[in-house]
A and B are shown apart, each in its own frame.
Chain A
Amino acid sequence: MVPVEFYFILACVMFTLGLFGALFRRNIIMVLMSIELMLNAVNLVFVAAGRSIGNVDGQVMVLFVITVAACEAAVGLAMVIALFRKYGTVNTDILRLLRG
């Protein structure tokens, strides 16, 4: 097996890319997709670590993460639709009620 650190590094790279996307994209849908990318990185960490410990706990965790990610994506997209109805665009500039 490949040393587990390599998987971690890969996961970190994915995570950071997703982070960049989430912070700097101007489109809310793109932000959500970047978040999915981050979640996948986490999944990778779980699987790799679980494998190297020697039991299947990691994989079980991954199942839960996928579940939660799906729910979150659903609700998030519903919110995007509602926002689109209200503002007519999905640019992140519309999210500024906390200004001041």
Chain B
Amino acid sequence: MLWIMLLAPLVGAVLNGLVLRRAPKWISHLVAVGSMAVAFAAAVAVYLQMMKSGGEPQVYFALNWLDAGAFHAPFQYIVDRLSGLMMLVVTGIGTLIHIYAGGYMHEEEKTYRFFTYLNLFVFMMLQLVMGDNLMVMFVGWEGVGLCSYLLIGYWFHDDNNAAAGMKAFLVNRIGDIGFLFGIFLTYKHFGTVSFSELRELIGAGSLDAVKVGAIGWITLCLFIGATGKSAQLPLYVWLPDAMAGPTPVSALIHAATMVTAGIYMMTRLNFMFYLAPMTMQVVAVIGGLTAFFAATIALVQSDIKKVLAYSTVSQLGYMVMACGVGAFEAGVFHLFTHACFKALMFLGAGSVIVAMHHEQDMFKMGGLRKYMPITHLVFLVGVLAIIGMPPFAGFFSKDEILWKAFIGGGPLLWGLGAVTAGCTSFYMVRLLCLTFYGAHRGGHHDSHAKSHDNSHDHHAHKADHSHGNHVPHETGVDMWGPLVVLALLSASVGFLGVPHVLGGHNLFEEYLKPIILIPESAQEHWEFLEATYSHNLELGLMAASVIVMVIASGTAIALYGRGPASVLTKWKTSFAGAYSTLSNKYYLDEFYFAKIVQPVRDMAEFLWAFVDVKVIDGAVNGVAELCSFMAGSISFKMTGSVHRHAMVLVVGLVCLLSVLVFN
């Protein structure tokens, strides 16, 4: 059963990529969705089977891969509560997005490539979350990076898209170096890379100081990998650029699944991270800063997808911060809820973009509530979820994180998170207002506007310019159908994690408890002594965050409710410095380019012009010249005289014979 789930996406990818190249589009779509549906059904079956046996981890062995001396890394998969959850998320939300993608890509002529990559991505992601050892996880890690590159640069004829794909891949790679070092160190100090074995070794008892020190380095290296994959400071720069890819890609990869790999990895190895308080501090601080940073940038973005991208980075920061303060369950809970509502919002944005003929500038939208009622409704649900309006999902998960941050990381960290939450509310409501409310500002439809989504020159839309003022209309059911499902999820899954203080049982935390293993030596450091903190404090903090959300949302509605308020233009000039810093993303990309990319380029140029051309080519050519010279200098000796030949022969013969005789 497990194999069906694992292999169905791969089969879909192979079929689409190799066999069905000339098939009509609906067949490619059907194969892709079909393989995903099969995978999801199998996932549900495996999950139920696991839960029936009490949620105990089950290990499945596939085949032997690496076997060198003492190093074993077979293709082995573990189905337990955490990976079961992840596989349901990946296959479930993946299926919905696959269904949606068919409608989104209907303008494309050939879609088999797209669905191949998409299915391949799911296959790789499953490797990542189901693997029982670091090597299989790394295979998935790299694989999703590859698919991300392929999909971001899907319309590669436009150089910007190709460059964005490259950027994603290379920045990820930098993180991967850290990950690899983590794997090496793990093997060196513990002799194994299997999760089950590591859990036994480390979680069991006390380790000597050397090993504990090593764990500190291991976790740091692994976290560097997470920084790259999960878009934290300083390696988040690829995520906003990744919006160059088709919107379903953004939804699947950069919202729901791939970027959560870092958080998954840390949760998987929670027993290690508990033994490394220094790393955890780093993790928490980076998570908090990332959340704040990204949220501030999102405040002034005008491209709808960019806002969502920075929002994703910010929410990932929340999840990482949760892991950093030891609240892995809260982080995973937020992962789960975020997957639902962020995918929802991305897909919704995709519907909007398609309806607006690939216009992505929010300031050219507006008033779409009239034209796209269903999309508006589901998008509203998503926004309410993310800003933390009770009783939607985001409220419970975000507040859980904030509470744990307060008691685990101190009020400063909580304050950072709270301010970020305020910013989140502001920019999400701003997005909602600019897109759906007010007057429709999209007068003429200029599909040649700066849009990163559209890069192919030949598309059927050229015919559409015949009717000038085009009125946007609702998308087909194949696109809003999945959105409705996701909206329902966003509204309801929050109830899985109702905290005790509000009368619930926090099912989610209980569910993941067996995964968490705090080694004895670290227990007193990490136990959240909830008893010492009063319930009132928790309720008070919760109320505070709700108030912040209300204030921020109200401000946004006031400023944008009927289109951008005129006061904004005044503020833009008075706060010009702050505005330009934010809208230029704190100039981080420019900084990287000047300090890192340019020197590498210069060195490459030097190596080419000097080393390659002069030294290496010179050496090779020099050898040829030498041969030619030597030939020239000797050739005059070839007189062609037979006599001379004979004489040399005789002399040689004499020498030979004398050697033989006098030996």
Contact = CB atoms under 8 A, between A and B. Distances in A.
Whether chains A and B associate is yes
Interface of A: 19, 22-24, 92, 95-100
A19 B643 contact: no
Interface string B450-477: 0000000000000000000000000000
13 contacts: A19-B650, A23-B647, A92-B641, A92-B642, A96-B641, A96-B642, A97-B640, A98-B642, A98-B645, A99-B639, A99-B640, A100-B635, A100-B640
Contacts of A23: 643, 646-647, 650
Task: Identify whether the interface residues of A are mostly helix, strand, loop, or mixed.
Answer: loop
A67 B640 CA distance: 31
Contacts of B639: 96, 99
Contact of A95 (B635, B642, B647, B650): B642
A100 B645 CA distance: 13
B643 A98 contact: no
B567 interface: no
Shortest beta-carbon contacts, A-B, top 7: A99-B640, A98-B640, A96-B640, A95-B642, A23-B647, A23-B646, A100-B638
A22 B646 contact: yes
B646 to A, nearest CB: 5
Contacts of A98: 638, 640, 642, 645
Contacts of A19: 650
B654 to A, nearest CB: 10
Nearest to A99: B640
Interface in B587-644: 635, 638-643
Interface of B: 635, 638-643, 645-647, 650
Nearest to A28: B642
A24 B643 contact: yes
Nearest to A24: B643
Given A95-B641, A96-B642, A98-B642, 9 more contacts: A19-B650, A23-B646, A95-B640, A96-B640, A96-B641, A97-B640, A98-B640, A99-B639, A100-B638
Contacts, number: 29
Nearest to B647: A23
Nearest to A94: B642
Nearest to B639: A99
Contacts of A95: 640-642
A2 B650 CA distance: 30
Nearest to B635: A100
B650 A92 contact: no
A4 to B, nearest CB: 17
A2 B638 CA distance: 47
Contacts of B641: 92, 95-96, 99
A97 B639 CA distance: 9
Given A19-B650, A23-B650, A92 B635 contact: no
Nearest to A95: B642
A98 B648 CA distance: 15
Contacts of B638: 98-100
A92 B642 CA distance: 8
A95 B640 CA distance: 8
Nearest to B650: A19
A96 B639 CA distance: 8
B655 to A, nearest CB: 15
B219 to A, nearest CB: 75
B568 to A, nearest CB: 90
Nearest to B641: A96
A92 B643 contact: yes
Contacts of B643: 23-24, 92
A23 B654 CA distance: 15
Contacts of B635: 100
A16 to B, nearest CB: 10
Contacts of B642: 92, 95-96, 98
A99 B637 CA distance: 9
A97 B646 CA distance: 15
A92 B644 CA distance: 11
Contacts of B646: 22-23
A24 B641 CA distance: 11
A24 B640 CA distance: 15
B255 to A, nearest CB: 77
B36 to A, nearest CB: 76
B280 to A, nearest CB: 82
A22 to B, nearest CB: 7
B252 to A, nearest CB: 74
A38 to B, nearest CB: 11
A100 B643 CA distance: 15
A19 B646 CA distance: 9
A25 B370 CA distance: 117
A30 B641 CA distance: 16
Q: Taking each of A23, A97, A99, which has the highest tally of chain B beta carbons within 10 Å of its own beta carbon?
A: A23
Nearest to B643: A23
A24 B644 CA distance: 9
Contacts of B645: 98
A43 B645 CA distance: 25
Contacts of A24: 643
Nearest to B645: A98
A98 to B, nearest CB: 4
B645 to A, nearest CB: 8
A47 B522 CA distance: 105
Contacts of A22: 646
Nearest to A93: B641
A19 B649 CA distance: 11
A95 B641 CA distance: 7
A51 to B, nearest CB: 23
A50 to B, nearest CB: 22
A99 B641 CA distance: 7
A22 B644 CA distance: 11
B643 to A, nearest CB: 6
B639 to A, nearest CB: 6
Contacts of A92: 641-643
Nearest to A100: B638
Contacts of A100: 635, 638, 640
Contacts of A96: 639-642
Nearest to A96: B640
Nearest to B644: A23
B34 to A, nearest CB: 76
Contacts of A99: 638-641
Contacts of A97: 640
A22 B646 CA distance: 9
Nearest to B638: A100
A69 to B, nearest CB: 18
Contacts of B640: 95-100
A98 B635 CA distance: 11
A26 to B, nearest CB: 9
Nearest to A25: B643
B107 to A, nearest CB: 72
B636 to A, nearest CB: 9
